[in-house]
Amino acid sequence: MGQIGDVDCPVFDGVYEYCQIYSGGSVTGAAMLATGQADIAFNWSGGMHHAKRAEASGFCYVNDIVLGILELLKVR
């Protein structure tokens, strides 16, 4: 069987769960900052900035930075 998905962003078993985990870390960190539960939050698996609005790129499947920013904007 050949490669599934783009070579730059291959589809692999568990890709959905992987995206949930690293994106969830960024969103949770942002929520903790916004509610005062943390002074510092850092997601070692997050910040993969190559993901775009409508496509994956550079092994980046989800733009978790934007998800974190949207979470922070909820407290405005």
Q: What is the pLDDT of residues 25-42, one digit of tens each?
A: 999 999 999 999 999 999
Helices (H), 1-76: 15-34, 64-73
Cβ atoms of 52 and 33 within 8 Å: the answer is: no
**Percentage of the chain exceeding pLDDT 70:** 87
Q: Say yes or no to pLDDT of 47 above 70.
A: yes
Within-domain flag for 20: yes
Within-domain flag for 36: yes
For residue 33, the enclosing domain spans: 15-73
**Number of domains making up the chain:** 1
Within-domain flag for 50: yes
Q: Say yes or no to pLDDT of 45 above 50.
A: yes
Residues catalogued as catalytic: 50
pLDDT value at residue 67: 93
